[in-house]
Structure 1
């Protein structure tokens, strides 16, 4: 190199860099009260599951392997104790898996919930050696697990959606060992929080005009043009259900040639229990 030349010190991205990038994307999409930051990537161990209360896995399209996100008791408890009833863990974690997959140049398939108590459950999900990246809030809140085969086959991040901004890393975080942090004293765990834990969770919302009961014979006899009589008078309010639970009523309207619902009544949770 002659005088005046400038060396490129950045170098190619390593497998750990790729895992951290996927974890940063997942951290921005995972429900949490405290903003999550990414800790140092470490070689994975089956014992990592002992520090978490639940998890979800999604196979990838475009890149080999899968991605696993493990979550702590705080989010698992919030999902189980939601005022709308128990919410699906895999659906809550799906946006984080989608974001991590895009950072690897892939698309995540539909997530499934992991049984962390089953022998070999985590090993079967990752399918071999993997890298673990902790997500840190008020303690170790979650972790992203990426198989080595997935890191080896990773591509350029997909740009069809904006990449989530990475949170700044706390000073001195990279000097902290990952595994000992899981062994924090029980008294140091953050207190349980409420509904704000669920702000980032996607839920299925359905508007129901009415219902009817039919015999199988009548159902099979349906043809185009058949009219079904519902158990609700014309002009009656429609029901708004969230994950199958009635939460409000309203009147059906048309918005830009699409149907909509103008909410006229919020249903008391005690009345629907």
Structure 2
């Protein structure tokens, strides 16, 4: 069997809808240029962000019923916003572009992005009804080859380094380095119910190494130490690049 080649735009849209917190699963349907221009009137307030990496992109996400997302987010609290709720879906969409940095998400007009002829616009549909829109503009024209599971392992490994040589262009981009001693998953209701004195149990035993994350990607393990009254991390293990990306 031969590998299936799909555009990065479509791969991004499919990854996005898989992570959207909607009551029913959505489908991402690409629209033609004329229809895309007609969608500009809906783009007055969208969640937009930019991705910088071996491939860079600008994205915008808008759901017709933002109030429903806002209600689920509990926007009366400063802890969680609509942007926070939708960011994981945008992270999933841009993850198909490879290594890079996803900038801050913000709620603003995406009219200019929708107006650009190089932008690909998708209708997000449920039961044949359009309930949202996703726009993505790549800074480079790219496609990705997806090798089927029955393809020889050598084919997959030869495709993996695609674009890696371009990383030199972002050597000076600052990235967030985070040390994580553990994590847990909580419902929005439980998060909003936190108060001083509450104890949150993490998925990490006492004494276990801390994770070192570069822009959210695991790159190393280490132990927390104190240096001149400040916390620091002593690196104990550097992970393989492939492990960190996975």
Q: Structure 2 length as normaliser, TM-score?
A: 0.50
Aligned counterpart in structure 1 of residue 64 of structure 2, from 44, 52, 72: 72
1:131 matches 2:120: yes
1:242 matches 2:191: yes
* Structure 2 match to 1:257: 206
TM-fit CA distance, 1:29: 0.9
Closer/same/farther in 2, CA of residues 29 and 253 from structure 1, 3 Å limit: closer
Task: Check conservation: 1:37, 1:137, Cα contact below 8 A.
Answer: yes
Closer/same/farther in 2, CA of residues 106 and 68 from structure 1, 3 Å limit: farther
1:91 matches 2:84: yes
* Structure 2 match to 1:112: 105
Aligned counterpart in structure 1 of residue 94 of structure 2, from 68, 85, 101: 101
Aligned residues: 165
TM-fit CA distance, 1:88: 2.1
Unaligned runs of 5+ in 2: 147-184, 209-246
Unaligned runs of 5+ in 1: 1-5, 158-201, 206-240, 260-273
* Structure 2 match to 1:50: 41
Task: Check conservation: 2:28, 2:124, Cα contact below 8 A.
Answer: yes
TM-fit CA distance, 1:79: 5.1
State the distance in 2 between where 1:128 and 1:107 align: 24
State the distance in 2 between where 1:252 and 1:81 align: 20
Task: Check conservation: 2:55, 2:138, Cα contact below 8 A.
Answer: no
1:115-149 deviations in whole A, cap 9, x for unaligned?
22xxxx43168866211011212632222211153
Highest CA radius of gyration, 1 or 2? Answer: 1
